Amino acid sequence: MTGLAETHLTTVQAISSAFELNFAQQGFSVLQPSSLLHKSVPHSFVMSAGLVQIENELVRIRHEYGDRFVFTQPCFRYFDMAAVGKDSTHLSLFHMSAAFHVGSSARETVLPYLWQFLTEVLQLDPARLWISYLDDKTLGKDQASYQCWRDLGVTEQRLVGLSAESNFWRQKTAGQVMLDGKKCGPHTEVFYERPEIACQHPQNCGLTCDCGRFVEIANSLFIEKYLNEEGGLIDNPEPFAETVIGNERLAMLQQQLADIHQLHEFQPYRSILLDLLQRQHPHDWAFYLPNIHVIQDHLLAFVTLVEHGAPAPGQSGRARIMRKLARAAIGNMVVIKLDSLLLEQVLFEDKQAKALQYLLEEYRKLMKVLENAKSKLDDCIKINPTTELIMKKKLLAQHGVPKVLIDYDPMWEL
């Protein structure tokens, strides 16, 4: 991969620290991150920077640290699990560094510092960077963001106006929603272009294309409105500006890697997984890399969540998410015929003993589920040999079989 200047800032940790220092030098206070488990999301996990700090602890933080602060937040998004292994940039567990200026949504409060960080600190080539901003038929153009980027030297050709669907943020979770409605406002994103990535539809390729050519690395939100029940916009009496970066994606670029799953930080898991895969499939192992990416991602997420206090896999709330993580990882192991002892090899360290215990117990439960589902399917076929495939899949799903196994083959080798 070309177009990147030499820099020592190649790891997730180094990028996080550099981002915090860059904003601290501008007067932002450095905060500690919250745990992935927080009372405001009792049935899930912290999904983004600011969920805790802005929605639940803002009064305390402003009293102790002022209106400008920066931090790095570990995040887990259960709704991104399905995207893992399908492209080169999605993880379910990742780190998001964020800087907030509360009381002002002026673009100059964050965008110049973000641009400085990307182009001077990380030394990303500005010729590879593209910017999206709001330019909507109904909501109009976010002239403030557009002009700020132009003042920073971004050419008009690299500024792409997109609709509200892409560049107008609306609060989706309840949080501390004001009586007037949900927070909302325009946002502007920074993308890094990888021209070496060939798109299958080059005539339609752009910033929103999922081919991997354009990687979103930063997003800045300006929360200056509320959306009321009638869908109207009203002024937010206490606006704020927020800028965030995707640390793992930036590390991928800095390490000059084609895929985020190849990050150096993941090597302890990845090396073991690839070695076992190549032994099992010496000639066609590359075909199963998407399965390895899911296993790697989900096991890392599972271990980290347990370290933060997540419960054992179960039927509801956080326990249900832990079950989905574990069973998706195990299901992919079944597909590529990796032995369950892989879990013990990967999670050998003493500090991960609890996660290992949870996973092995879930493995035993899943094997029973598969045996029962297979028996039910056999009975169904005996009664009606012409049972359609869609009905077979529905039956298997009802009995708790992971989707990866249903899609792979309904008759697994147990």
Q: How many CA atoms lie within 13 A of 169 on its CB side?
A: 20
Residues 104-141: tens digit of each pLDDT? 999 999 999 999 999 999 999 999 999 999 999 999 99
Residues 200-244: tens digit of each pLDDT? 988 889 999 999 999 999 999 999 999 887 878 999 999 999 999
- Closest by CA to 13, choosing from 248, 185, 211, is 248
Q: Name the phi and psi angles at 36, rounded to 5.
A: -70, -20
Binning pLDDT at 50, 70 and 90, where does residue 411 land? low
Angstrom distance (rounded) from CA 201 to CA 331: 33
Mean of pLDDT over the chain: 91
Angstrom distance (rounded) from CA 249 to CA 261: 10
pTM for the predicted model, two decimal places: 0.92
- Closest by CA to 412, choosing from 379, 372, 365, is 372
Residues 318-361: tens digit of each pLDDT? 999 999 999 999 999 999 988 877 777 676 666 688 999 999 99
Report pLDDT for 412: 58
Q: Alpha-carbon dihedral of residues 390, 392, 394, 395, nearest 10 degrees?
A: 160
Average pLDDT, integer, range 383-405: 82
Angstrom distance (rounded) from CA 50 to CA 52: 5
Q: Name the phi and psi angles at 290, rounded to 5.
A: -55, -35
Bigger pLDDT: 411 vs 250: 250
Q: How many CA atoms lie within 13 A of 218 on its CB side?
A: 29
Residues 131-189: tens digit of each pLDDT? 999 999 999 999 999 999 999 999 999 999 999 999 999 987 544 444 445 899 999 99
Report pLDDT for 393: 83
List all residues 6 or more positions away from 87 whose beta carbon is below 8 Å from its beta carbon: 210, 212
Average pLDDT, integer, range 244-256: 97
Report pLDDT for 348: 64
**How crowded is residue 32: how many other Cβ atoms within 10 Å of its Cβ?**
7
**For the domain 12-254, what is the CATH code?**
3.30.930.10
- Closest by CA to 53, choosing from 75, 31, 74, 37, is 31
Listed range (168-172, 209-213, 257-261, 311-315) with the worst mean pLDDT: 168-172
Q: Are strands 233-246 and 214-227 parallel, antiparallel or unpaired?
A: antiparallel
Q: Are strands 214-227 and 29-30 parallel, antiparallel or unpaired?
A: unpaired
Angstrom distance (rounded) from CA 213 to CA 30: 33
Report pLDDT for 359: 92
Domain boundaries, the chain: 12-254, 263-408
Bigger pLDDT: 213 vs 377: 213
Report pLDDT for 351: 66
